[in-house]
Chain A
Amino acid sequence: MTQPVALTINGRRREDHVEPRLLLVHYLREVAGLTGTHIACDTSQCGACTVLIDGEAVKSCSVFAVQAAGREVTTIEGLAADGILHPVQQAFWNEHGLQCGFCTPGFIMAAAYLLKQNPSPTDDEIVRGLEGNLCRCTGYENIKKAVRSASEAMSGKADGVSGELVGSAAVPVEG
């Protein structure tokens, strides 16, 4: 038995018929084809599946697709616009905030939400805002750095973070 669901994903409306038991994360990945949202646990621990629902960070493995009916969902694919990276994306790139990149979409969504709520978080507030996300590669050092640097960029304090997707990040060194 399926049920209709109509919602907006990354600014685009869609309608589908889904089983009521289908998790939002599976709906996004397998029905909507947006595979940037990842799954890394069965128990809502890892945050790899974090998306925004009506602007609020939600673990999409803990919500049924039908519960998102009428809502506006933003996934990692919807964060950059017209080739311009979101400052959090740019900061993760600049600060080497990812290695394998599997946890990264969830972290970026959670951090983007954190900075929207609190544009200049203290170190403690960064930790509290992101402790629902797990990363096994980075030891979190550069993720913290990236969030701090995104916060500075968004408040216009930093130089050198343009927020633009540059063609090459290679900067040869004079020697």
Chain B
Amino acid sequence: MAVTSMIGARIQRREDPKLITGHGNFIDDVSLVNMAHMSVVRSPHAHARIRSIDTSRALASKGVVAVLTAADFKGVILGPLPVTNSFVADKKQVPEQFPIAAEEAVYAGEPVAVVIADDRYLADDAAQLVSVDYEPLPAVMDLEKAMEPGSPLVKSDRPDNIGWDAAFPAGDIDAAFAEADFVLKERIGQQRVFPTAMETRGCVADYVPYDNRCTLWTSTQVPHFIRLFVGGALGVPESQFRVVSHDVGGGFGAKLRPYPEEYLATAASKITERPVKWIEDRTESLQATTHGRGQIFDVEVAAKRDGTLLGLKFTQLLDIGAYHGVFSAFQVVACLLGGGCYEWKAINARSIGIFTNRMSTDPYRGAGRPEATHLVERVVDLVAREIGMDPAEVRRKNFITAFPHTNNFGLVYDSGEYEKSLDRAMANIDYPALRKRQEELRAQGRYTGIGFSTYVEICGLGPSSATAPAAGIALVESSMVRVHPAGSVTVSVGTHAHGQSHETTFAQIVADTLGVPYDSVEIRHGDTGDTPFGYGTYGSRSLAVGGMAIMASCHKVVEKAKKLAAHAFEASEEDIVVDHGRYFVRGNPGEAKALAELAFASYGAGLPEGMEHGLEAVSYFDPPNFVWPFGCHICAVEVDPETGAVSIDRYVAVDDCGNVINPMVVDGQLHGGIAQGISQALFEEVQYDDATGQMLTGTMLDYLIPTMAEMPHFELDRTVTPSPTNELGVKGIGEAGTIASSIAVINAITDALAPFGIKHVEMPARPDRLWSMIKEARA
């Protein structure tokens, strides 16, 4: 009998028809009757005392409804922005951040006033007329100087500039180092980068006066989280506060927290009794949407001459920015994963979070895992160079091979086959031929290099047993599956999609699990008004956690349908066979009922004794473990020694995310992820002036987002090692590309420059940096 299987099929996306015809519904497309516009007046100083604010000229400007400062918001916004534990429960200090500065502005771009006017042009006009008297204060920009006792302070009411100092020791590090033939040291940077979703942030708040009811449309990855905090701070209970996040033009981690403007717009709507819209422009976005990375690692590795890795010591200096991001300490996960996919006798890690007068850092695609991969993969190459061993062989020699594997910090890697993906990638790029060619070209004075990245990452956040103590929240996920009387199915979920294709892939899962036509399944997300509470989408969690919550509800529906079938056939439940949505009595497949027929019956008369009407289920899924995707990326580059320019000749990736729901979507996630890592390796860097704290990369003219011309062709392949953690056997793929790719590029460049004696290259490896290094080496 022919059967169908949607899981694993390349299904074109159902999201696309509206998006390719201009009928998406992004935040700036939301428009309400009588809607006013908000323009935010931001501090031009990195650090300044606010002596006074004169709003009179702005108030007199055409079309202005209100000009509001911190004093106006005090009684309306009742609490500060939240900060989660995120891997560091006992922080040294958690300064409260009110959504708008009152006496002291501590980063360039911090809100100091808002103007509400009839349209956006008029609001922007009036914002120019708000006059703020600032007394500039010293800007704290350098991480190491900021740590010193007696350093100027990021904010004058703080004891010092240290946010946390957390140690993560695992094993006898002194013994591991005592055994070593050699110890290598390096400093490895992770520059600040902009996540740069193409859609900037924005929101529309509609507070209904005298009703204490509010709807907030916002461009976010986490609508339920926003409702919890913004509603809470405004004193509107969740039942009366609806957050809607329709189409979202990319998030990459920068839209997973409540932001000051969401509080301000909502409060302004309450104060002015009008719906209020705020749309961030790009310059605001670069200043006031959270940045990623911003770290320095000082690392020491102990190893043997035969390539055996023994011990790893490192300190992560993390630039928090002026205030903790909501998840600022999430990047500390780099400490727990610094060992990568290798066996170590001991690892000793320490993370110091340091405040500076910059925008907060928070998760950016990969959040902590790209940093960990970059660190350990760089270290392995340093070891290989030191002992003259092929970098692939050092990796092979130290791979973890038995699963489940408990790493030095007690985290359990669920499944893996690291050597297989390494072998496959080496075969795909034809490694021996590439090495031979490299030798030939070197003889001609050309500098090509090959870079490896064999990564493992943690995702599917996460089991409550781990996330509740670490993050302060139990990152479970939810679903509601409702079969309507005529058989179509509505599935509501607590996750959120902003490019990840859940409407397609989740429907594939439901179609197979319930045995109903794919087209009869509707996936709903992004509206707290009709979805169960969920934590949203980040950390590559939506499939491994959210998908499993959907499976759990589907199973409950099938269980009830079996009871209905048993009743209809006057058979016992044990004798009912379910085959692709057909329910029949064992041995009699000719006489079967489809799920739609049983659904119809469930809303009708004559149900079995004691059974409730309807066919629907709600489930919350708490995963037993994280999931651990892995793979091997190999990059081949050529560096022009005269200009320092890098060209990527080949980019080969073999990734393993367990079972695949839709290969087209998985490949797409990898393309975009790899591109972001390559871009960090070669181009991107948020720059502030060290003396004044002014942002130097405040427009897209100054901050390089790669175009089509800068991106290579990606040669993808995969291995499939199902996860034992969940019934679907799935892991996650949203971040893997970014986690793997920056170091594949940097290792390739370092390899290319080996003839110059260059052992380490920092990001971004822009032509001027490489050119100077080559020049210095030649001198």
- A: which residues have CB within 8 A of B? 19, 21-22, 26, 29-30, 34-43, 45-46, 48, 75-77, 79-80, 85, 89, 92-94, 96, 98-105, 108, 126-128, 130-144, 165, 167-175
Chain B facing A: main interface SS? loop
Interface centre among A26, A101, A104 (most CB of B within 10 A): A101
Q: For residue B699, which residue of chain A has the nearest CB?
A: A43
Query: In the complex, what residues of B have CB within 8 A of residue A42's CB?
Result: 281-283, 699-700
Alpha-carbon separation in the docked complex, A19 to B8 (Å): 54
In the bound complex, do residue B21 and residue A139 qualify as a contact, i.e. CB atoms below 8 Å apart?
A: no
Q: What separation, in Å, do the CA atoms of A133 and B668 have in the docked complex?
A: 18
A142 to B713 alpha-carbon distance, docked (Å): 10
Q: Are B12 and A136 in contact (CB under 8 A)?
A: no
Whether A21 and B121, one on each chain, are in contact in the complex, defined by CB atoms closer than 8 angstroms, is yes
Determine if B691 is an interface residue (Cβ-Cβ < 8 Å): no
Chain B nearest CB, measured from A85 CB (Å): 7
Can you list 28 pairs linking A and B with CB atoms under 8 Å apart?
A: A38-B198, A40-B199, A41-B282, A43-B699, A46-B198, A76-B20, A77-B21, A80-B21, A89-B20, A100-B198, A100-B498, A101-B24, A102-B24, A102-B199, A131-B707, A133-B708, A134-B700, A136-B250, A136-B672, A137-B668, A139-B671, A140-B671, A140-B675, A170-B11, A173-B5, A173-B6, A175-B4, A175-B5
Chain A residues near B575 (CB-CB < 8 A) = none
Expressed in whole angstroms, the Cα–Cα distance for A36 and B10 within the complex equals: 27
Determine which of B197, B252, B665 lies in contact with A96 in the assembled complex, contact meaning CB atoms within 8 Å.
B665
CB proximity of A109 to chain B, nearest CB, Å: 10
B window 683-707: CB within 8 A of A: 699-701, 705, 707
Whether the Cβ atoms of B708 and A100 lie closer than 8 Å is no
Is residue B160 contacting chain A, with contact meaning CB distance below 8 A? no
Kindly state whether residue B17 has any CB partner on chain A within 8 Å: yes
Whether B711 lies near A140 (C-beta < 8 A) is: yes
B3 touches A175 (CB 8 A): yes
Do B674 and A99 have beta carbons less than 8 Å apart?
A: no
Task: Tell me the smallest distance from the CB of A107 to a CB of chain B, in Å.
Answer: 10
A135 to B671, CA, bound (A): 12
B713 contacts which chain A residues (CB < 8 A)? 141
* Chain A contacts for B22, CB-based, 8 A: 34-37, 75-77, 79, 105
Chain B residues within 8 Å of A130, by CB: 707-708
Determine which of A21, A85, A102, A132 lies in contact with B249 in the assembled complex, contact meaning CB atoms within 8 Å. Answer: A102
Contact B20 A101 (CB under 8 A): yes
Q: Which of A80, A93, A139 has the most CB of B within 10 A?
A: A139
A138 cross-chain contacts in B, Cβ below 8 A: 668, 671-672, 675
Q: Would you call A76 and B708 a contact (CB within 8 A)? A: no
CB distance from B533 to the nearest CB of A (A): 24
Known contacts A36-B23, A141-B713; A173 and B4 CB within 8 A of each other: yes
Please name all residues of chain A whose beta carbon is closer than 8 Å to the beta carbon of B579 when the two chains form the complex: none
B465-502 CB contacts (< 8 Å) to partner A: 498-501
Once bound together, how far apart are the Cα atoms of A74 and B497, in whole Å? 30
Instruction: List chain A residues, Cβ under 8 A from B249.
Output: 38, 40, 100-103
A79-B21, A134-B707 given; A46·B668 CB < 8 A: no
Chain A residues with Cβ under 8 A from B675's Cβ?
138-140
Q: Does B29 contact A (CB under 8 A)?
A: yes
Residues of chain B at the chain A interface (Cβ within 8 Å): 2-6, 8-17, 19-24, 26, 28-29, 31, 120-121, 196-200, 247-250, 252, 281-283, 498-501, 518-519, 664-665, 667-669, 671-676, 699-701, 705, 707-709, 711, 713-714
Choose among B10, B120, B198 the residue that contacts A103 (Cβ–Cβ < 8 A). Answer: B198
Say yes or no: A93 contacts B672, CB within 8 Å: no
Contact A85 B20 (CB under 8 A): yes
Name the residue of chain A whose CB is nearest to the CB of B7.
A173
Do A99 and B499 contact each other (CB < 8 Å), given the known contacts A36-B21, A140-B708?
A: yes
- Given A35-B28, A85-B21, A101-B19, verify A139-B711 contact (CB < 8 Å): yes
Given A134-B198, A173-B9, A39 contacting B672 (CB threshold 8 A): no
Task: Tell me the bound Cα distance from A143 to B713 in angstroms.
Answer: 11
Contact A136 B252 (CB under 8 A): yes
Cβ 8 A contact of B708, one of A102, A131, A175: A131
Shortest CB-to-CB span from B704 to chain A, Å, is 10
Apart from A100-B247, A137-B250, 7 more pairs, CB < 8 Å = A36-B24, A40-B200, A96-B668, A99-B501, A102-B250, A170-B11, A170-B518
**Minimum distance in angstroms from B30 CB to a CB of chain A:** 9
Residues in A whose Cβ lies below 8 Å from that of B248: 100
Please tell me which one of the listed residues B21, B518, B700 contacts residue A172 in the complex, with CB atoms under 8 A apart.
B518
Please indicate which of the listed interface residues A36, A108, A165 has the most CB atoms of chain B within 10 Å of its own CB. A36
User: Out of A22, A45, A94, A140, which one reaches B700, CB within 8 Å?
Assistant: A45
A75 to chain B, nearest CB (A): 7
